[in-house]
Amino acid sequence: MWKGYESLPAYFGGKRKLARKIMSFAQGKVFIDAFLGGGSVSLLAKAQGYKVISNDISVRSDIVGKAIIENKRTKLSEYDLYSLFKETDNNFIHDTFPNLLLNKDEKLLDNAFANAKSDLQKLLLIKFLFKYKPFSMLSNKIPENIATSNLKVIKPHLKYMFKPTKAFKQIKEQINQGIFDNGQDNQHHKMDVFDFLDKVQGDTVYFDPPYAGSQSYEEFYNILDSILIQEKIPVVKSKFNSGDAEAFLHKLIEKSMHIPKVIFSFGGPDIDGQKLLSIVQEHRPAELHEIQHKWAITATKESMQTATEILVVTK
């Protein structure tokens, strides 16, 4: 796997394995990623020389977008790292999420989050938490749709729990190798996708929306999002998970008629490719590509072997 990806958080639903296939359908010079998530597709587009315009409604993705997609040359320094350890009176994690971390690490992380000023520092802390609680299980409760046969992959990584300062240094190097200038002014936005589409112009738009019926990102990352803004956030589902998902798909297509090429990806269990294709075809000519894909964590043991990712691409 490409080293640049190590700069990104291991995001739930991330598309590292499929990014090259997705980008093989892109055209023109300006690539729009309307749901940035963990940034894998945008970072590859950036490496391929596109001007990237990314968007995501969440704070966690805003940090990735600013630190890695927009950023041309600022790298994490030793000072950035050591300034995270300064003593503070912050006790947010300790008070709000007891039992999330080992006692000895609570104060270290509470200090680090209070001291983190830059998006790069915040990205380092996100990556640390994802390694401390692998697969972003930032709660001691395991989401219902995760196969128990996969529990071994979500066991905490002991080396991160016992040597946080060493882990910080390692993560700093990983992040720095994903920072480069591709000669373009890449941009990241933190907007609701429909407001974003009203304003953005480009040659290709990539849509990787949350999947209807799957666990919402807002629930999955509620603890992380709360820590990032240092305030307990009530769980509010995205409309893609809770509302009429089909109506939102129609709206996504209607709002992107000004963009010559549209690439959709859909994954997860029970995805009906023909159905998604016919929704897109109500608006524009399109074709379906089915890609066999192995999931590290998935809804059932069976789909672990056979999961298919659907790409619907306009012609």
Ligand X SMILES: C[S@@+](CC[C@H](N)C(=O)[O-])C[C@H]1O[C@@H](n2cnc3c(N)ncnc32)[C@H](O)[C@@H]1O
Q: Which residues bind ligand X (CB under 6 A)?
A: 11, 13-15, 35, 37-38, 40-41, 56-58, 61, 192-193, 208, 210, 217, 238, 240
Name the residue with tokens 């680090």: 112
* List of residues 6+ apart from 53 with CB closer than 8 A: 30, 31, 32, 33, 186, 187, 188, 189, 200, 202
Pair of tokens at residue 135: 């697969």
Q: Where are the alpha helices (DSSP H) in the chain?
A: 19-23, 40-47, 59-64, 78-82, 92-96, 103-115, 119-132, 158-162, 164-176, 193-199, 217-220, 222-229, 239-242, 245-254, 273-281, 301-306
Q: Which is nearer to ligand X, 18 or 108 (CB)?
A: 18
Alpha carbons within 13 A on the beta-carbon side of 71: 22
Report the nearest approach of ligand X to the CB of residue 32 (Å): 12
Q: Which is nearer to ligand X, 67 or 101 (CB)?
A: 67
Report the nearest approach of ligand X to the CB of residue 208 (Å): 4
Report the nearest approach of ligand X to the CB of residue 274 (Å): 21
Report the nearest approach of ligand X to the CB of residue 141 (Å): 20
Report the nearest approach of ligand X to the CB of residue 161 (Å): 25
Q: Which is nearer to ligand X, 8 or 93 (CB)?
A: 8
Give the single-character DSSP code of 223.
Answer: H
Q: Which is nearer to ligand X, 48 or 90 (CB)?
A: 48
Identify residue 284 by its one-letter amino acid code. Answer: R
Q: Which is nearer to ligand X, 30 or 101 (CB)?
A: 30
